Amino acid sequence: MIRKIFISLFVLVLLIGIVFSAGETTSPTASNTVEVGNTEKPIGDLIGEGLDITASKVELTKEENENTLTFLEGGSVNIEGASFKNIEKSSSIVLDDLGEIKSADLTANADTSFDFKGVGTYTVLKGERVKYEGGKATIYGKAGNSVGFTPEILDESGKDIGKIMNIKMNGESI
């Protein structure tokens, strides 16, 4: 008799649990972050339709109209032919859904260059930092260092004819 009562109570609790949970729905939460591994992979379609963007060792965080590429150790990105490599961990590039660079905060872990489409290429030394926003770049480094800048100047046929300019830093930023 006692056994029947316990079984009945167990079944009753089980049924009550099922009734109360029937209205609840669970859905998996979609992560808006993707980590790209060691091998260079195309990620353009994750950012916008038909974009030619490849990356390795980066983390892509997708928000509304904003895509942040955060560099991991040894990370690199190629955006429509503009290569970004030799960049310290935690540096980042923010792209819109058309693949245009909105902003960037990049620190070089070796001598390198950063190419910003429509603006030009900045050649920097190891340890120098480039902050880019709104079509303008600020370079942070040591006084006395030279920064190379090649403006993007296109001729009638679309060929880039920009010439490199070496700019000597008088202070810690230009």
Q: Specify if 157 maps to a domain.
A: yes
Domain count, the chain: 1
pLDDT digits (tens, 9 = 90+) for 119-148: 899 999 999 999 999 889 999 988 888 888
Q: Specify if 22 maps to a domain.
A: no
Q: Specify if 50 maps to a domain.
A: yes
Confidence of residue 149 (pLDDT cuts 50, 70, 90): confident
Which residues, 6 or more positions from 54, have their beta carbon under 8 angstroms from its beta carbon?
A: 40, 41, 42, 43, 44, 77, 78
Whole-number pLDDT of residue 174: 78
Q: Specify if 174 maps to a domain.
A: no
Q: Specify if 67 maps to a domain.
A: yes
Q: Is the pLDDT of residue 20 over 80?
A: no
Which domain covers residue 92, as residue numbers?
33-168
Q: Specify if 1 maps to a domain.
A: no
Q: Specify if 8 maps to a domain.
A: no
pTM: 0.76
The whole-number average pLDDT for the span 9-20 is 50
CA neighbor of 97 nearest in space, from 128, 123, 121, 66: 66
Q: How is residue 141 written in tokens?
A: 């480094």
Q: Specify if 147 maps to a domain.
A: yes
Whole-number pLDDT of residue 167: 83
The residue among 158 and 140 whose pLDDT is bigger is 140
